[in-house]
Structure 1
Amino acid sequence: MLAGCGSKLGTVEAPVPEPQSFSYTGQDVIPEEWWRSFDDEQLNRLMDSALTKNLNLASIWQQFQAAKAGVRIAGSNLWPQVEATLQSGISRPQPDFAGGENTQAGISASYEVDLWGRLNALQDAEVYRAKASYYDYQTAAMSLSAELSSAYFSVLTASKQLNLIKEQIEINEQIMKLIRNRFGSGQIRAVDILRQEQLLETTRGLAVSFERELALAQNRLDVLMGIPAQNDYVLEFKELPDLSPLPETGLPLELTRRRPDLQSAYERVKANDREYAAALSNRYPRLSFRLSGQVRSNTYTNLFREWAYSLAGNLVAPLFYGGRLQAEADQAEAFKQSAVYDYGQTVLVAFREVEDALVNEQKQKDRLEILERQLELTEKTNKQIRFEFFNGLSDYLDVLLALDEQQQLKRDQIRAEQQLIEFRINLYRALAGGFETRREQEEGS
């Protein structure tokens, strides 16, 4: 390609300041299929099913197939375009050559010489856009894996919360029986029974909420797996997993070579650069050739006896287009610069996502430690208050408040454990690169 038409773009640096290291890091290496770090075979099976059957992911794969076809379409312009024609008609009467069968057949070929690399530049642009489309597919697969993992652990959390609520209902019912017996002997006031009934009904209301939360989480999981929400799917409810050690975060700039969304943005910068080069070449002359051959006869038997040939060359040089060609070049350059800034913004967001996930996980661990200490203190306080109550040293209201606080803390602890897993999922999603799906293995990319 001539220098006047724009040389190919070299390495593009994101227009962002030099990033410092992330706040936290670990030693573990993130596996390509990062969800296997949770060591949950049920999650692995669900993930395999979702990556195969999810309809949104299948749609994005077809968009990638369309982008690959676009590469072939652009590449076809580098070859001669050959056409065959056949025309036949009958006219009456037949006084001269115009009458009779009047049959024509011909073949023609046209070819544009890519003097300035315009056609190659357009094909390169389609190649880069196809690569970007592939990385979009990988990004969608990564998003699906994170969303499905989140939905799966939401199901487990809702199930665990529901089991805890049932235990708390049972405890509150037992306490209700106990204080009713003490009311008969005059040791409990009627208002204390009403307060205990209120706590019992509140706990039953929470059970309904968690039943709804469990059903909605299962519905969300079903849709991600590509099955109707009303279809039954047998799921084993189990405990939430313990997290593996914090993974190694690496250097921030390594993300640009690893994350598929960043790679997609980078490929779009290169595609816009090639389109800018093509726009520049539009200002230069175009050279094309056309070769045609034709036969014509008013009888089918004499059709191929004589041929007429023509070879024409065509050189078109733009002289005055009212500034349109320069405007097209300026527009393409602006699109290119816009793609560079989009790439830089995507990089900044990627850095933030990693940093947010690291900070969230670390602070959530601190919060869980505080919750555990609160629970220990609440259990000791509850035990002491009950002792004082049975010895007539405190009111039942103190027992009720301590019991309510203890039960709420246990529910908060389960929710905090789920949030910690969510933050780890976000960290894996922010740090991990693309992974090969079964669709890629079977169909090829």
Structure 2
Amino acid sequence: MNSHLSTGWFLTWLLLLVLQLSGSGCAGKESAVKLPTQSPPPFSESGQAPLRDFWWTTFDDQELDQQVDIALRGNFDLEGALQRILQAQAIARREASDLLPDVDGVALAESTVRTDSPNSARWVLGLDASYQVDLWGEIGSRVDAQWLRASATEADFNVVALTLSADVARTWFALIEANAQIELLDEQIQTNLTGLKLQEARFGLGQIRSADVLRQRQLVESTREQRVVVLSRIEVLEHLLAVLQGQPPQEASYSPGAQLPQLPPLPETGLPAELLNRRPDIRRDFLALWAADRDLASAVSAQYPRLNLAASFTTVAESPENLFREWVFSVAGQLIAPLIDGGQRRAEVDRNVATVRLRFTEFSQTVLIAYQEVENALVREQYQLQRIEKLETQAKLAHQASIQLREQYLIGETEYLDVLSSIQQEQSLQRNVLSARLELILNRIALYLALAGDFDPRQAYPLANIPLEYVDGVPIEIIEGAPPVIVEQLPEENDIDE
């Protein structure tokens, strides 16, 4: 009896010692993500027009709206991003299953044949259950991390959808500009052909040299060559638009017209802190950062002892007709405490600390790039408007100079080479004005893309109902808009500063 008591006290003392050693060898607390209260400076410029839910509708082009809608419903990259959401959701559900007990049905039938004794048989039927108690939140932190990754995957879906809408709009307006270039080139070809007829008539009368006729023919062929280049660009753009919409490019054909839209009013940029909550790429990286933080919490908790429970409820008999007569119910508990693992768990904590810091730098860089994209779009639009004004002025002056040089050439005061150079410069400026107007629209698209608007692709695709932001059931918001600061409280022996 005394021996049994001594053994019990020894086991109790040993268990307490294990708990103490395990606790002293673990990281003291989980890492925390804190956001500073200081807001970033406002953007350099802002308009008054509110951002629409679907930003491309600001151009008031119903055909563009239709093309974007087709792309959102047919693009394969977007469909792939949707499947990644469902995949991440399934992984999160799989991890969450560890919070519940496992129950298995057991059925066994065996027969033993012996040469020196009667044969024997055993029939077993029952249930086995096992459950790991989440004492320190290891499993819960792991589940949180997976739900956060699922939410980050959904944010990445929004990134793909937003980028797709911008690609369709860019391609559509590039097609319009290319058709406008074709119309302009056709006019220029007709003008140059008219000039060629006049030169050939004058050459027949002996009034000019053959070189002037050849130069005019070269101008006609040069303009035709430009038309061939634009026709090639139109077909390439049509192929691109078809692929964006999930359609084969072989028979792609569109009729977008040849009139570029007027630039809509400048949208309201809002505060930088609001931008952080609007942009899906920032939300994606923020959720990835928070998921890494939950992984770190799980790795820290893995250093503590774990408690496993098991139970079984079975019936055993030597023949099937005797089943269900006697039942055996058993319960067991197992406490496992890590003692020596060669530094494996400590290394896993250090790896997760580095991962959190890596995700933090990625998130911070994404925030800075978002600010840069908005500022770049605002600056480029401002100077592009000035550039278009200068180009239009140059085109008017070149037209006036071309008229005067023609008059001077007819009276013999200047060479035809000067007239030809003036015509070439005028026609080149006319084409440059169209290209500059397209660049202005493309830059506005870049601004809408940088501001992200309130575009929610789930209105086109019914997504699974998973949390957009998930940490212990509490929604996350990047309130002040500045990058978070990682404050880590880890063992001093690792010499990791906060």
Fold in common (TM above 0.5):
yes
Distance 1:313 1:280, change over 3 A: same
Q: Is the 8 A contact 1:5 1:116 kept in 2?
A: no
1:103 equivalenced with 2:123 (yes/no): yes
Residue of structure 2 equivalent to 1:71: 92
Greater mean alpha carbon deviation, residues 330-339 or residues 389-398: 389-398
Offset of residue 159 of structure 1: 1.2
Residue of structure 2 equivalent to 1:196: 216
Residue of structure 2 equivalent to 1:120: 140
The amino acid that maps onto 1:178 is L
Q: Distance in 1 between matches of 2:185 and 2:75?
A: 34
Q: Is the 8 A contact 1:54 1:224 kept in 2?
A: yes
Offset of residue 303 of structure 1: 2.9
Q: Distance in 2 between matches of 1:81 and 1:403?
A: 84
Distance 1:392 1:290, change over 3 A: same
Offset of residue 11 of structure 1: 4.2
User: Could you give the per-residue CA deviations for residues 392-418 of structure 1, whole angstroms, max 9, x where no partner exists?
Assistant: 222211111111111111111111111
Offset of residue 318 of structure 1: 0.9
Residue of structure 2 equivalent to 1:52: 73
Q: Distance in 1 between matches of 2:62 and 2:420?
A: 42
Offset of residue 444 of structure 1: 4.6
The amino acid that maps onto 1:51 is L
Residue of structure 2 equivalent to 1:169: 189
Q: Distance in 1 between matches of 2:73 and 2:105?
A: 44
Residue of structure 1 equivalent to 2:289: 269
Residues 233-252 of structure 1 correspond to what in structure 2 (within 5 A)? 233-252=253-272
Determine which of 320, 336, 343 is the counterpart of 1:323.
Answer: 343
The two structures have a TM-score, normalised by structure 1, of 0.94
Offset of residue 313 of structure 1: 0.3
Residues 44-443 of structure 1 correspond to what in structure 2 (within 5 A)? 44-90=65-111, 92=113, 99-100=120-121, 102-437=122-457, 442-443=462-463
The amino acid that maps onto 1:409 is L
The two structures have a TM-score, normalised by structure 2, of 0.84
Q: Distance in 1 between matches of 2:460 and 2:338?
A: 46
Offset of residue 23 of structure 1: 2.5
Offset of residue 332 of structure 1: 0.9
**Paired residues, number:** 441
Q: Distance in 2 between matches of 1:98 and 1:63?
A: 57
* 3-state SS in 2 of match to 1:442: coil
Q: Is the 8 A contact 2:104 2:127 kept in 1?
A: yes
1:23 equivalenced with 2:44 (yes/no): yes
Q: Distance in 2 between matches of 1:99 and 1:74?
A: 44
Distance 1:234 1:151, change over 3 A: closer
Offset of residue 344 of structure 1: 0.3
Distance 1:331 1:434, change over 3 A: farther
Q: Distance in 1 between matches of 2:71 and 2:282?
A: 24
User: Could you give the per-residue CA deviations for residues 331-382 of structure 1, whole angstroms, max 9, x where no partner exists?
Assistant: 1111111111111010011111111111111111111010010011011101
Q: Is the 8 A contact 1:103 1:299 kept in 2?
A: yes
* 3-state SS in 1 of match to 2:99: coil
Residue of structure 1 equivalent to 2:15: none
Q: Is the 8 A contact 1:108 1:293 kept in 2?
A: yes
Segments of 4+ moved more than 4 angstroms: 2-5, 89-98, 438-441
* 3-state SS in 1 of match to 2:316: strand
User: Could you give the per-residue CA deviations for residues 168-204 of structure 1, whole angstroms, max 9, x where no partner exists?
Assistant: 1111111111110011112221001111111111111
* 3-state SS in 2 of match to 1:341: helix
Q: Is the 8 A contact 1:262 1:343 kept in 2?
A: yes
User: Could you give the per-residue CA deviations for residues 186-238 of structure 1, whole angstroms, max 9, x where no partner exists?
Assistant: 22210011111111111111111111000000100000011010134443323
* 3-state SS in 1 of match to 2:462: helix
Q: Is the 8 A contact 2:177 2:258 kept in 1?
A: no
Q: Distance in 2 between matches of 1:421 and 1:246?
A: 12
Offset of residue 58 of structure 1: 0.7
Offset of residue 306 of structure 1: 2.4
Gaps of 5+ in 2: 1-22, 466-498
Offset of residue 296 of structure 1: 3.2
Q: Distance in 2 between matches of 1:185 and 1:308?
A: 122
* 3-state SS in 2 of match to 1:168: helix
Q: Is the 8 A contact 2:238 2:252 kept in 1?
A: no
Q: Is the 8 A contact 1:292 1:310 kept in 2?
A: yes
Q: Is the 8 A contact 1:43 1:149 kept in 2?
A: yes
* Higher RCO (C-alpha 8 Å, min separation 6): 2
Q: Is the 8 A contact 1:286 1:317 kept in 2?
A: yes
Q: Is the 8 A contact 1:32 1:432 kept in 2?
A: no
- Output the aligned Cα RMSD: 2.2
Q: Distance in 2 between matches of 1:417 and 1:337?
A: 44
Q: Is the 8 A contact 1:165 1:207 kept in 2?
A: yes
Q: Distance in 1 between matches of 2:215 and 2:140?
A: 80
Q: Is the 8 A contact 1:142 1:434 kept in 2?
A: no
Q: Distance in 1 between matches of 2:181 and 2:118?
A: 94
* 3-state SS in 2 of match to 1:322: coil
The amino acid that maps onto 2:327 is W
Q: Is the 8 A contact 2:51 2:453 kept in 1?
A: no
